[in-house]
Structure 1
Amino acid sequence: MDAARAAKRVAGVEEVSILYRRTKEYMPADKEEFDNAMKDGIKFVELINPIDYMDSELLCQKMQLGEKDQSGRRRPVPVENAHEKMKFDSVIMAIGEEVDKKLLRDNDLDFVEGKLIFNPETLETSIKNIYIGGDALRGPSTVVESLADGKKAAESILRKEGISFTDIPDVKFEKQERFHQLITQQGYLKQEKEELHSLEEVSGESSRCLQCDFLCAKCVEVCPNRANVLLNFIDEEHPFENDFQIVHIDNFCNECGNCATFCPYADGKPYKKKFTLYSNRTSFEENSNDGVLFDGDRFYTKFVNDYYEGIIEHQEIQWKNPPKEDVLMKIEFLIKKIKEITV
């Protein structure tokens, strides 16, 4: 679904189809992702299995459903002497993910009948003191499962070394003595307010601020498609409250909602709220996000439901209908920076 929806957003792409050897009923894709793909205008062809591609022609084997397999899904069975040819400019193999066994074998980990040898209780592999977990063990898995594996492996190592959590030394913390050392170190979050006795201490205390509103960028880090990009204005005089701004790339986004899940702000949905770089006129007109669409040196932009256009040459903007003064500089800075990094 990710590959199909991303392909649909590429400039010049007219039609995208998903070919699947079973029926929709047995498709492992998330229902919301499937529904969104259909809304994007992607065609779904079921009971078809690609077997060869040459000269923009895809040769497919027609399939039918047989008995259930180990996964509980009905097995796809080829229909004898039933083939179909389809015309496609490009073909993307979207066959999921699996563990890179070659990498593990190259590092001398042992397998039996294609299965990795490891202790399920400790996660220790066939090589002493080498542990495995997460996607390297399971294939595609969740963050929670990977964290659980990490915890299990860590506890196994501690047990092996004869260390328990009760053995952690009880270090007496002389709060008043350490206060002056800690006050200038960023990253320490005190639970209680302390009395500050000098201007130097006040200055040091303020420097400990983690500046969460200054740079968050969680939506940049968690996006699997890299659809959120961090723009750095730190060395420029700019009209923004913060030196860093996030720009959303429309044709990279499949609306998976990852950025919304991790956004620390109330009702934060970066893919729906960030200034957006559009790749085609249709998305620009249908999407509600503020953003910009480039057409050579000409650009079209919208901000709070108002539309503007102009020309940008050598990083200088000539407006056909400039926005109001209070937002003009912000829009110009964003457009220039986006144009700069997309050239």
Structure 2
Amino acid sequence: MTEPSTSEHGRTDPSLSAIMSERQQLINLTYRLLGSLTEAEDVVQETYTRWYAMSPQQREAVETPGAWLTTVASRVCLDLLGSARARRERYVGEWVPEPLPDGAQWVSGRWGGTAAADPADRVTLDESINMAFLVVLDLMTPAERVAFILHDVFRYSFAEVAAIVGRTPAACRQLASSARRRIRASQSAAAPAALRADTVRAFKQAWAAKDIDALIGLLAPDATATGDGGGLVPAALHPVEGAEQIARFFAGRMDSAPDVTLVESTVNGQPGLVAQVDGVSVSVLAFDIEGDRIKRIWAVLNPDKLRPWRTAG
């Protein structure tokens, strides 16, 4: 993407810093809308490309550039979400949102960098970005997802949402309400952060020891475990259900990969695990914990979705 930074007389474009300062907001928005950091990056690049494709006079006529950028990015996401169902039907196995590492920084289009990087390039991790939340978002219609994220997470008015999605404010209110019901129906009783961390640590220890009884004790009887290999690496094609079945499955995976190292990490703002081989991340696990029992596990093995985990640090 080419971004002119100077005027025809060689002076710095005074609008450039203001426009680029919207990048954090756009990355935060598009990742939530798509559940894919790679696609979010592409959408933000496309949004800026469209901005700079306009003449200087057209850009000057935009009263609120940030609102313009958000509108364009949201509409691009809406189009992508509309075609996502067909793309998911061609996806090999289960599709899980792309996991985000803690404190990762988006620097010059690449993950990594130093702590001195521009804070505006940092992806915000909070409760609206945890894996359980993103999985539910993926079950919504495109219009539901966009209306809900814009209104409930980013606090846009329904009139503003309506202008973006091409519906009436009343229709957008209904869409957000429907999305809210989906979120409430799927939510587990929140466990304290310390208890979540302790439970994940106990799972790590039991898994490393291949202690099936201990694993069963940490899992809810109706727990599910979903793996995403994208057809690129071996992974269960369908969710594994039930505490005993999951315990035996994970113990078996440890038998087949004796050189794996399990590392505690923050995954989408929650306690999680990273499986590494020779220091390279090969799987990232996110957990949904209710009380002191694990209800859901999402394991992302697709190497295309692990790029931030292999370059951050």
Q: Give the TM-score, by structure 2 length.
A: 0.21
Q: Which structure would you say has the larger RCO, counting Cα contacts within 8 Å and 6 or more residues apart?
A: 2
Kindly indicate which of the two structures has a greater share of residues assigned to helix: 2
The answer to which structure has the higher strand fraction is 1
Q: Which has the larger radius of gyration?
A: 1
